[in-house]
């Protein structure tokens, strides 16, 4: 009898472990530029909803640099795809994200989305920094003291490892894959769910799409 109970207990433990196994998170890196319309649209329309759905399965890494270029190792500043305002915007974001190192990805994404939406940083405004409860003095100091230049040189180095042809570019677990890259621009949830096949949110998402599809087909047939 005792033995039997013990077996049930073991079964229960196995079941609990199986159903609550904490998934290994994917590392999603985003290489982007502060004033780039494609980066803005990707972060607001793809990354935000995807992270909302899949935050338990995804870790975020932001690299605000893109196709910028340092001049004289940053001694003479940077040259950016969308002009010098973009260089400032990239540096402000690097400085703020550095200050947010210990914060959640959710907070980091909220901050970056605010910047991409408003382009505040590239206009020298620190609204988004303040909205995220960061010290605007510290960010300002980072930008003017040379620390921001060092952070941007680091971002340049990380970006050079990926050599993006298109901005924004993503990598998953530090790997670039052209198919994933192209798919992510139009359907990041689908892209991540093609890897996270067994996750509940993906299953629910596909059920929802299938149901919608079915309803649409039926509506079409009625008309």
Ligand X SMILES: *[C@@H]1O[C@H](CO)[C@@H](O)[C@H](O)[C@H]1NC(C)=O
User: By the criterion CB under 6 A, which residues form the site for ligand X?
Assistant: 132-133
State the nearest-atom distance from the C-beta of 110 to ligand X, in Å.
6
State the nearest-atom distance from the C-beta of 95 to ligand X, in Å.
17
The Cα angle at residue 213 between residues 207 and 46, in degrees rounded to 5: 70
List Cβ neighbours of 49 (8 Å cut-off, separation of 6 or more). 188, 189
Nearer to ligand X, 126 or 188 (CB): 126
Nearer to ligand X, 132 or 155 (CB): 132
Tokens found for residue 219: 């509506």
State the nearest-atom distance from the C-beta of 151 to ligand X, in Å.
22
Q: How many CB atoms lie within 10 A of CB 29?
A: 20
Query: If residue 112 lies in a helix (H) or strand (E), which one and from where to where?
Result: helix 105-118
Cβ-based burial of 122 (10 A; exposed 0-12, middle 13-18, buried ≥19): buried
Nearer to ligand X, 133 or 212 (CB): 133
Nearer to ligand X, 133 or 217 (CB): 133
State the nearest-atom distance from the C-beta of 101 to ligand X, in Å.
15
């Amino acid at each position: 009898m005792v033995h039997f109970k013990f077996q049930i207990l073991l079964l229960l433990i196995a079941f609990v472990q199986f159903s609550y196994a904490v998934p290994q998170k994917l590392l999603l890196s985003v290489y982007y530029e502060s004033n780039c319309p494609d980066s803005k649209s990707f972060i607001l329309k793809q990354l935000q909803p995807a992270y909302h759905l899949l935050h338990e399965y995804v870790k975020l890494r932001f690299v605000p640099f893109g196709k910028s270029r340092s001049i004289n190792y940053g001694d003479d500043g940077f040259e950016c795809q969308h002009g010098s305002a973009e260089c400032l915007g990239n540096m402000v974001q690097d400085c703020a994200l550095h200050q947010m190192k210990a914060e959640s990805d959710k907070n980091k994404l909220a901050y970056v989305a605010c910047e991409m939406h408003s382009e505040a940083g590239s206009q020298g405004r620190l609204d988004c920094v303040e909205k995220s409860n960061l010290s605007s003095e510290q960010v300002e100091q980072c930008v003017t003291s040379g620390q921001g230049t060092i952070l941007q040189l680091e971002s340049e180095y990380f970006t050079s490892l990926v050599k993006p042809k298109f901005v924004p570019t993503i990598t998953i677990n530090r790997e670039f894959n052209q198919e994933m890259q192209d798919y992510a621009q139009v359907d990041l949830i689908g892209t991540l769910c093609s890897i996270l096949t067994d996750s509940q949110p993906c299953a629910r998402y596909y059920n929802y799409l299938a149901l919608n599809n079915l309803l649409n087909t039926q509506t079409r047939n009625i008309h």
